Amino acid sequence: MSFSKVIVTTTINPPTEALNKFARLDGWHLVVAGDLKTPTPYHIDGATYLSPADQEKLAPRLSELIGWNCMQRRNFGFLWAAKQGASLIATVDDDNIPYDTWGQTTLVDGEAELDYFESGVPAFDPVGATGYRHLWHRGFPIQWLAQRDYSGKTRKRMVVDVEAGFWNGDPDIDAVCRMEHGPRVTFSDGPFPLAGGPIAPFNSQNTILSSRAFPGYFLFPRIGRMDDIWGAFWLQAKGFKVAFSKASVFQARNEHDLTKDFEAEILGYTKSHLLVRSLLANGPEAIWDFLPQGSRSIYEAYREQFG
């Protein structure tokens, strides 16, 4: 059996309300990449569970290189979906509860008409474009917060490779922003869809990628909570386009220690602005100067699975 539209996640929790709802969505198939901490036996009706043994069988060298007890086991769900011939792959978190209309339509692979913002700095913060100017998307370089400029808005048609959906409830902001504001939000549908450039952060918690994009998308291990953000910057440096769409999930965020989140984001606070500048100036190869030693080999072990 093959699946044309696949939802991918990883979890160390028993089946959640969010994942049970994702598993019941028409036209989509949920695959859960387990970890050593995932409760066993693990089962969700209508979903596929990739056990640690399944993942080691799928790509043994990659499994060894990535290691265990990390969010980056999700990459094995991407591989599984690609081997099913999926045309769309969604990546979600187990605490993002989908609305009933989730995934019924998508901007991906179509030409969307949207508001496009030419940022006054090298990165675009989509959260600030919604009216919540005191908040910012996780991974947006904090060095540029005061310089965000939304005055350069134009109407534009754009072929979309990645649709990054927003999230009501507890939004995806960094630990500094969450410590200060502790927001609970309901985003208006009005500003969406929107995009901006030259590069924008997007996450792996409510995002749909085209089949042509996901071989070049990767969650890098050993860089903490920048795994998806730096993967997003890197993908856009390769020329892929992201658009942000209205909130399609409610994030009832799992319990987090915000101090630990902060520690896991320090690389972003100190280096993301430098990475963005280097990617824009030097192209996607610049990322290897910012990643831990051996990261290229890990990605190549992933990429070779696509043939």
Per-residue pLDDT tens for 247-306? 999 999 988 899 999 999 999 999 999 999 999 999 999 999 999 999 999 999 999 999
Buried-exposed string 236-257: b where 16+ CB fall within 10 A, e elsewhere: bbeebbbbbbbbbbbbeeeeee
So what's the pLDDT on residue 1?
61
Q: In the predicted model, is pLDDT for residue 10 greater than 80?
A: yes
Residue in the block written with tokens 């892929």: 240
Q: What are phi and psi of 52, to 5 degrees?
A: -55, -40
DSSP helix/strand/coil, 229: helix
Question: Region 231-254: what's the mean pLDDT?
Answer: 97
76 in Cβ contact with 59 (< 8 Å)? yes
So what's the pLDDT on residue 120?
86
Whole-angstrom Cα distance, residue 264 to residue 257?
A: 11
149 in Cβ contact with 120 (< 8 Å)? yes
Residue-wise pLDDT tens digits, 57-85: 999 999 999 999 999 999 999 999 999 99
Q: In the predicted model, is pLDDT for residue 2 greater than 80?
A: no
Residue-wise pLDDT tens digits, 111-170: 999 999 998 899 999 999 998 999 999 999 999 999 999 999 999 999 999 999 999 999
Q: Confidence class of residue 99 from pLDDT cuts 50, 70 and 90?
A: very high
Q: In the predicted model, is pLDDT for residue 241 greater than 90?
A: yes
So what's the pLDDT on residue 131?
85
Average pLDDT score over the chain: 96
